[in-house]
Amino acid sequence: MLRLFLSCLLIVLSLPGKVGAEQQTVKASWLLKSAPTATTDAEIDKGSINVPLLTNAGCRKNYKIEKLFWSLDATNEERIAKSFSGQGSISDLEVTIVKLFAGRAKLPTLTIYDKNGKAYRLTFTNFVDFYRWPAKKYKINGMFSADSIPLPKFWSKVKLICDSPDYPKVGNRKPKNAIVGNTLAERGKKLHLRILNRHPKIDQFYERPILYAELTNDPLVVINVPIEDWDSISEKERNLLCKYVASLVNQVRSNPFSYTRIPQNAPIAPRLKENISKMTNKSWGILTGQISEDGRDIYSDKLVKIGKQ
């Protein structure tokens, strides 16, 4: 009996274990150049390598790294030697990440690790058009100038971390947004909510005004309306929506960072403040667009009304 038990145990221990998920990799390319001479070409070294890629659940199905391209135009032998030895040098890194879903979510973060374990964290806030961001297959194109990221052949791994885009669906808005009053602006707000309620999946984000073109000299406070609804309402109803959004300008102007995706501590925040200071009571608009495939977002396709017209 003992012999039979030991034989069975040996068979079990000899069976192949469950193979884990295949290691993901991402292709990273590089081009190292110096100034050409009469006898040598400008190109010194180019190549590519598959680097281990680590992702969390929020990224695995929803984003794809399309390009990692490191380049350096070297002008002296010392910088070239540093690059070949794995040391960082002033270089450019081009990153393209494709968004595979329709809708909004927080931006992904990319971290590159060298073979010594040093991490280089890259964020994409300055490279995204947030009005196009909800579109499926939107491409984030980032260009980073760095003085420390080494050649990709000296990378040990790349990590892409994202929040899940599966944010909660919107419930009934009416109790939460009950409006008392009958001014033209209040009637416009009622109409805006009534339009949004025709599309129960649209995110609550669109109940609030947002800043549009806030990094230009002519920022606007806008509300979003699905194009099909804008086309179907009367001119009187359109005027009510105009009265509503016009009433929001002072509210947004007094607290602009509550109505933009630009953080208050971002390097471009002072520029935003300067632009907001130029706004007038006519700095408003109505933005229309198609509804995204998942029904949660309104694309920012066209400004159909502008206060300054």
Structural domain boundaries in the chain: 23-161, 184-306
Fold entry, domain 23-161: Lipoxygenase-1 (2.60.60)
Q: Which of 276, 302, 290, 298 is nearest to 220 (CA)?
A: 276
DSSP secondary structure letter of residue 291 = B
Distance between alpha carbon 49 and the CA centroid of its chain, in Å? 26
Distance separating alpha carbons of residues 140 and 92, to the nearest angstrom: 16
Q: Give the model's pLDDT for residue 228.
A: 95
Distance separating alpha carbons of residues 291 and 299, to the nearest angstrom: 6
Distance separating alpha carbons of residues 85 and 77, to the nearest angstrom: 12
How far, CA to CA in Å, does 285 sit from each of 135, 170, 242? 22, 25, 8
How far, CA to CA in Å, does 123 sit from each of 25, 141, 210? 20, 11, 23
What stretches in the chain show pLDDT beneath 50? Answer: 1-22, 166-179
Phi/psi of residue 36, nearest 5 degrees: -70, 155
Q: Give the model's pLDDT for residue 12.
A: 36
Distance separating alpha carbons of residues 254 and 212, to the nearest angstrom: 15
Distance separating alpha carbons of residues 112 and 159, to the nearest angstrom: 6
**Three-class DSSP category at 25:** strand
List 279's β-bridge partners, or say none: none
Full-model pTM: 0.57
Cα atoms found within 13 Å of the Cα of residue 181, Cβ hemisphere only: 12
Cα atoms found within 13 Å of the Cα of residue 80, Cβ hemisphere only: 15
